[in-house]
Structure 1
Amino acid sequence: MSRGTQVPRTIEEHGPSPIARWGPMVAILASLALVAAVVVFVDPIDGAPTASSATTAPAGAKDTTDIELPPGVMTYDQAKAKGTLDEYDFGDRCDPDTGTLALPLAPQQNCFAKFTGDNGGETTPGVTADEIKVVAYLNQPGDPILEFIYGQIGLKTKPGDAQRAYANFNEIFGEYYEFYGRKVKLIPYTATGNIQDSVAATADAETIARDIKPFAVINGPQLSNAFADTISANGVLCVGCTSTGDDSFYADRDPTQWGVQKTLTQNLVLVAEYLGKRLFDRPAKWAGGPLKNKPRKIALIAAEGAEADDDPVKQFIQTLADDYDAKLTKIQRYDDPLALGSTGRAMLSQFKSAGVTTIVFVGDPIAPQTLTRIATEQNYFPEWVTSGSTLVENNVFSRTYDQKQWANAFGPTSLFPRVAGGLGSPIGLHKWYFGIDPPGGAATLLAVPNLQVLFGALQGAGPDLTPERFRDVLFASPVLPSSPIAPQVSFGNRGFFPNPDYVALDDMTEISWDPAVMALDEGGVEGKGGWRYSDGGKRYLPGEWPDDEPHVFDPETGVTGFDELPPTAQEIPADWAPIAGPRKGKTLGGQ
């Protein structure tokens, strides 16, 4: 591997840039960095309410054999449990030894039987007897906000890459998922404005709903809720329409809005628990200088404007007080990371004078470049605690922070260690099926989790497809458990979070920064410095964080990645081969 790495330039090197105009909203784009192998396996419950409210949504099945399926729908596990496997055709897409789809993608999914009979035809707008019409929203070419962010993390795309990637993954999933006599017709739509342009977003949504009339849309402008609002008002379902919605946003638009990343409220539930159980009332073991081993005084630095209001942050502070009898020593907000060159000095000077030993950071990936540099100039070496601000927790960004400071960085994250060669990932899946990397590389893979949520629910919904059925399927489906290389996935009222859950991811793991280790960045380039995932990437749901000290900065138990699938992940059989496509019949090791 190459020992070099392409790293982002610092703020000072950029000069005037998009972030100077859009400032803290770049923090919202943290969700774009989570290229997760999220596969939603869903089995619907027959008779689930057709108009479930957010407060009465079903709690979900315990497993895949304990549910009543609608006519025309059958899973391998349930047929096996009933002793009726011989009555169904699961096709060559299914591995009969495992009962899962023969797709090298972690985690693996149960097989659904091939459908025969009448699928009901036009069950809802955008659905016919032959197709399900889905719009793939494509970002405006040359969008300056996205170009800035992609440039920072080394993602490069060419015109048409995203459209080709959507088409390719639609082809793969179309060969393996069951759509009950229908095919998903994926229709590209290119945005007429940037991801913050609410006027263009509204017009685009109206055009899609009026002229294309799809069943669903995937993706949307990530810095405006106008697109999602308009799509929902037209009764069209959308997965990944926006990253700015919190819990109430999704509930108010039930059953049309769905996502992958945790909402800010959900993230901060886990962060509050982590702080309350593992950090408060303990010495600052990993601070530097005179702060080391002092009783912890914890402060918060958070970006303004990352949500429509500050309710999630206020709730976070209240949770610390109510559940852990814990109070933050200082709270500072910022609205422009470029201004931290001046405001950050006063901020950190106040922290140092107050004896703050530990800083929790919730914000964009640019601000720590300035904050850590200033802290070192002030000879101030606190602990830095992560919070699920995903881009901050990418190797490619963390290498640009002052390493004397970042050597003290640790905390919770939604990310997970990668497997060498992309095994079990969307990149690996594309290479297995097509023999080449996906168009646009990692940047275009941002679409894959949204596709998987959509297609998984379509498969579980059966022939009688409607937005309400889509919702009922996700809310009633079994929880998809986590592994070290994939997060847990669930929807609905599972008791993990205080409100009904319309987004996929549930859990977090613990990380700590190793400034000396050689590790791969998010573009697959090896360089110096990387996050170590504690205890081999063990993941925790709300209520599960241990109440002992963090297990951080330990090269023996903290992994930067895996050379092969870890023992606790499902093994991918070496004899699986694509049932169609350019590499039809060729196994993982085949040429």
Structure 2
Amino acid sequence: MQPAHSGDDGSSSANLKKWGPIVGIVLVVGAVVGLVVATGGDDDDTTDTTAADTTAIDVEPDATEPEATDPDGEEPEDTDPEATEPDSTEPEATEPDSTDPDQPTGDITYPLSFAEAEEQGVAVEWGERCDTELGTVAMKWYFAPGCYAPFEGDNGGATATGVTADSIKVVQYLGPDDDPIISYLTDAIAVDDSNDEAEATLRSMLDMFSSYYEFYGRSIDYETYVSSGIANDEVTARADAVRIAEDFEPFAVLGGPALTNAFADELAARGIVCIGCTPGQPQAWYADRAPYVYGLAIGAAQARDHGREFISKQLIGGNASFAGDEAYQGQPRTFGHVYLSSSPESPALADDFVSGLTADGADVVEVLPYTLDPGSIQQQASQIVAKLKSSAVTTVVIAGDGVAPRDITREATAQEYFPEWVLVAPALSDLTAFGRTYDQSQWANAFGVTHGAVPVTPEESGYFALYRWWTGEEPPAADTIGVLIPNMALLVSGIQQTGPDLTPENMSAALFDGPTTTPGITEPFLSYGERGYWDGVDFSGVDDAALIWWDESAEGPDEIRKDGTGMYVFVDGGTRYLPGEWPTESALFDPAGGITIYEVAPAEETPPDYPSPAG
């Protein structure tokens, strides 16, 4: 099927830029969606669909009411049931009803996970897709989900918009190939995946998910939509959302414009689930649009909370010992904050972050925004560096994209300014592929917080390895597979956990009530809902972080398998920290215990070596 377009121009060649909405989220963590994928074993049931030869349990789903408006500014009508607050405690498996002596001993309610079946003593024919020793599907993947009982019976038919008895309509958003903003982001690292290669990769992975996941008698009707709007075009973004809603009537949309939340806002107002369809937003923004919008990466404010904790525990009150300028090295740290302003929420996020640092005792003397404008970034960089140098800032805390540091560091060298560079809430700047493009005399003094995990050789781990295991071949979109798949993986996981009664409200309950992933070193820790890590309900995925520093002489492959010099080093083997767990000391710039990449994952993070379905 040919993709739909929002304009007259076709899309014959494609590269990483069209995946801008999730590029900064996912390249760092090849399996960023694993949170729900790995939660299949113990989640509570959310539907009441029974079948013969199975034992009944009945749990009402939680739902959260959206506060979005429709395009005319009116409240959407009849789009949500009465909302309830998600349970803030870890879920417990629901016990089968034993009060009715006439209840059949073989009936269950879908969805039924392997762990629930074991606990309830229900016999299930799991089939070849399930590893009954582990209770997970037999996929060679760290995030292989728990097995779910194969469905038999009536799935309820049209349970929601885009859902029928036989199918679930899903639309993949693609940005235009000639978007100057996204091109600016991706030209620094050359990739040559075509649109056809991306489509082939996506459909092959969808075939894999469909073979191992339980969709309760339905298949996914998958289509693509190519926009004509650039990454920050709010008008086109909202028009695209309207057209997708009216022409396709989907249950869910994957992806969206990189630098505006208008697309997600419009879809939520129309009662359509969208995943990875907006740049990072404060959690209150997601809550106002629940249960429709989900992020994959850590939340914008959450990432800054990690940065604040690291800085407060390890940097405030000390000298700028990692600065390139020897004069700075003996001086107490004076901070400046440089941040990307990409939405109306950006200044508020920066103000809250700086206020927190100041409350912790930091001397913050400059707060400098920049915009992602290729035509003016050089001028912005010159002005930013001049102000930082004039204010004698020893330590620059930068929260931004992957390319602007190239211009800023080059300008810093031109102005003979050599401070410490501290990464907080990075979006691509914590990737080796981008770090190699920065002025190395500057970046040799860079370190900070990443929410990505220490990488493993792509042929051995992540989506690249998973595709090759499934097909026996390398993915057609070999460079960008880590960007293409995660939104889809989160959606299919949510569908499986929800059960036959598929609605946005029920899927939200399944995500919020399911258990978290297992903490690791080569994968992030992920959760949704109220888990105690953050205040309120968490609509984002990643919760933890690691510490990195730049080694300009290290050699090896980057995230897209390109060998080169200069790599990020993960401190203490890639140890990860949840909020409140950051230590007061770290081995920054100490090669002992540092790691750039694992050739193979640690044994406890290596999945079983199941035979490839391709033979």
Assess, with a 3 A threshold, how the Cα gap between structure 1 residues 341 and 201 changes in structure 2: closer, same or farther.
closer
Partner of 2:493: 456
How far apart, CA to CA, are the structure 1 residues paired with 2:95 and 2:375? 54
Partner of 2:572: 535
How far apart, CA to CA, are the structure 1 residues paired with 2:600 and 2:276? 30
Question: Which residues of 2 match residues 493-572 of structure 1 at below 5 A?
Answer: 493-548=530-585, 550-569=586-605, 571-572=606-607
**Residue 334 (1) aligns with residue 334 (2):** no
Partner of 1:14: none
Aligned-residue offset at 1:91: 1.5
Aligned-residue offset at 1:428: 0.6
**Residue 171 (1) aligns with residue 207 (2):** yes
Partner of 1:62: 90
Question: Are the aligned partners of 1:219 and 1:450 in contact in 2 as well (CA < 8 Å)?
Answer: yes
Assess, with a 3 A threshold, how the Cα gap between structure 1 residues 253 and 338 changes in structure 2: closer, same or farther.
same
**Residue 117 (1) aligns with residue 153 (2):** yes
How far apart, CA to CA, are the structure 1 residues paired with 2:121 and 2:194? 51
Could you report, residue by residue, the CA deviation over 1:8-56 in whole angstroms, capped at 9, with x for unpaired residues? xxxxxxxxxxxxxx9xxx9996336445312212523443454335996
Aligned-residue offset at 1:137: 1.8
Aligned-residue offset at 1:279: 1.0
Assess, with a 3 A threshold, how the Cα gap between structure 1 residues 575 and 376 changes in structure 2: closer, same or farther.
same
Aligned-residue offset at 1:63: 6.3
**Residue 429 (1) aligns with residue 466 (2):** yes
Structure 2's unaligned 5+ residue stretches are: 1-16, 47-58, 67-82, 98-107
How far apart, CA to CA, are the structure 1 residues paired with 2:173 and 2:590? 43
Name whichever of 527-536 and 224-233 sits farther off: 224-233
**Partner SS, residue 441 of structure 1:** coil
Question: Are the aligned partners of 2:256 and 2:263 in contact in 1 as well (CA < 8 Å)?
Answer: yes
**Residue 318 (1) aligns with residue 355 (2):** yes
How far apart, CA to CA, are the structure 1 residues paired with 2:208 and 2:487? 15
Partner of 2:171: 135
Between the two proteins, the alignment pairs up a number of residues equal to 551
Partner of 1:44: 44
Assess, with a 3 A threshold, how the Cα gap between structure 1 residues 56 and 465 changes in structure 2: closer, same or farther.
closer
Could you report, residue by residue, the CA deviation over 1:338-378 in whole angstroms, capped at 9, with x for unpaired residues? 65645545544543454432111112333322332333344
Q: Which amino acid aligns with 2:589?
A: F
Question: Which residues of 2 match residues 405-484 of structure 1 at below 5 A?
Answer: 405-484=442-521
**Partner SS, residue 432 of structure 1:** helix
How far apart, CA to CA, are the structure 2 residues paired with 1:359 and 1:374? 14
Could you report, residue by residue, the CA deviation over 1:115-137 in whole angstroms, capped at 9, with x for unpaired residues? 12221111112111211111122
Question: Are the aligned partners of 2:340 and 2:400 in contact in 1 as well (CA < 8 Å)?
Answer: yes
Partner of 1:76: 114
Could you report, residue by residue, the CA deviation over 1:423-446 in whole angstroms, capped at 9, with x for unpaired residues? 231111111111222222232431
Aligned-residue offset at 1:547: 1.9
How far apart, CA to CA, are the structure 2 residues paired with 1:229 and 1:268? 24
Name whichever of 115-124 and 453-462 sits farther off: 115-124
Q: Which amino acid aligns with 2:85?
A: A
Q: Which amino acid aligns with 1:62?
A: E
Aligned-residue offset at 1:300: 1.1
Assess, with a 3 A threshold, how the Cα gap between structure 1 residues 504 and 262 changes in structure 2: closer, same or farther.
same
Aligned-residue offset at 1:80: 2.6
Partner of 2:24: 30
Could you report, residue by residue, the CA deviation over 1:530-570 in whole angstroms, capped at 9, with x for unpaired residues? 0011111111111111122x32222221111111112442x
Name whichever of 144-153 and 118-127 sits farther off: 144-153
TM-score by length of 2: 0.83
Question: Are the aligned partners of 2:175 and 2:227 in contact in 1 as well (CA < 8 Å)?
Answer: yes
Aligned-residue offset at 1:257: 0.8
**Partner SS, residue 320 of structure 1:** helix
How far apart, CA to CA, are the structure 2 residues paired with 1:28 and 1:316? 24
Partner of 1:284: 320
Aligned-residue offset at 1:306: 4.8
How far apart, CA to CA, are the structure 2 residues paired with 1:190 and 1:378? 43
Aligned-residue offset at 1:400: 1.9
Question: Are the aligned partners of 1:60 and 1:478 in contact in 2 as well (CA < 8 Å)?
Answer: no
Q: Which amino acid aligns with 2:608?
A: P
**Partner SS, residue 428 of structure 2:** helix
**Residue 158 (1) aligns with residue 152 (2):** no
Partner of 2:409: 372
**Partner SS, residue 442 of structure 1:** coil
Q: Which amino acid aligns with 1:331?
A: V
Assess, with a 3 A threshold, how the Cα gap between structure 1 residues 389 and 455 changes in structure 2: closer, same or farther.
same
Assess, with a 3 A threshold, how the Cα gap between structure 1 residues 366 and 190 changes in structure 2: closer, same or farther.
closer
Aligned-residue offset at 1:328: 1.6
Could you report, residue by residue, the CA deviation over 1:505-541 in whole angstroms, capped at 9, with x for unpaired residues? 1111110000001021122011010001111111111
Assess, with a 3 A threshold, how the Cα gap between structure 1 residues 402 and 103 changes in structure 2: closer, same or farther.
same
Assess, with a 3 A threshold, how the Cα gap between structure 1 residues 397 and 276 changes in structure 2: closer, same or farther.
same
Aligned-residue offset at 1:290: 1.6
Partner of 1:381: 418
How far apart, CA to CA, are the structure 2 residues paired with 1:34 and 1:67? 40
Partner of 2:135: 99
Partner of 1:211: 247
Query: CA RMSD, aligned part only?
Result: 2.6
Partner of 2:288: 252
Counting aligned pairs with the same residue, the percent is 35
How far apart, CA to CA, are the structure 2 residues paired with 1:198 and 1:374? 32
How far apart, CA to CA, are the structure 1 residues paired with 2:198 and 2:456? 24
Partner of 1:573: 608
Q: Which of 292, 299, 303 is the equivalent residue of 1:263?
A: 299
Aligned-residue offset at 1:457: 0.9
Q: Which of 195, 201, 204 is the equivalent residue of 2:231?
A: 195
How far apart, CA to CA, are the structure 1 residues paired with 2:26 and 2:461? 20
Partner of 1:296: 333
Aligned-residue offset at 1:197: 3.0
How far apart, CA to CA, are the structure 1 residues paired with 2:204 and 2:511? 25
Question: Are the aligned partners of 2:454 and 2:570 in contact in 1 as well (CA < 8 Å)?
Answer: yes
How far apart, CA to CA, are the structure 2 residues paired with 1:359 and 1:67? 54
Aligned-residue offset at 1:461: 0.5
Question: Are the aligned partners of 2:229 and 2:236 in contact in 1 as well (CA < 8 Å)?
Answer: yes
**Partner SS, residue 110 of structure 2:** coil
How far apart, CA to CA, are the structure 1 residues paired with 2:421 and 2:94? 45
Question: Are the aligned partners of 1:35 and 1:446 in contact in 2 as well (CA < 8 Å)?
Answer: no
Assess, with a 3 A threshold, how the Cα gap between structure 1 residues 114 and 64 changes in structure 2: closer, same or farther.
farther
Could you report, residue by residue, the CA deviation over 1:76-132 in whole angstroms, capped at 9, with x for unpaired residues? 222233443xx1122211112222111122233221121122211111121112111
Question: Are the aligned partners of 1:137 and 1:217 in contact in 2 as well (CA < 8 Å)?
Answer: yes
How far apart, CA to CA, are the structure 2 residues paired with 1:27 and 1:183? 26
How far apart, CA to CA, are the structure 2 residues paired with 1:246 and 1:239? 15
Question: Are the aligned partners of 2:45 and 2:498 in contact in 1 as well (CA < 8 Å)?
Answer: no
Q: Which amino acid aligns with 2:612?
A: A
Could you report, residue by residue, the CA deviation over 1:268-327 in whole angstroms, capped at 9, with x for unpaired residues? 1111111111111122222231222432222211223355441111111222234x2434
Structure 1's unaligned 5+ residue stretches are: 1-21, 587-591
**Partner SS, residue 305 of structure 1:** coil
Q: Which amino acid aligns with 2:138?
A: A
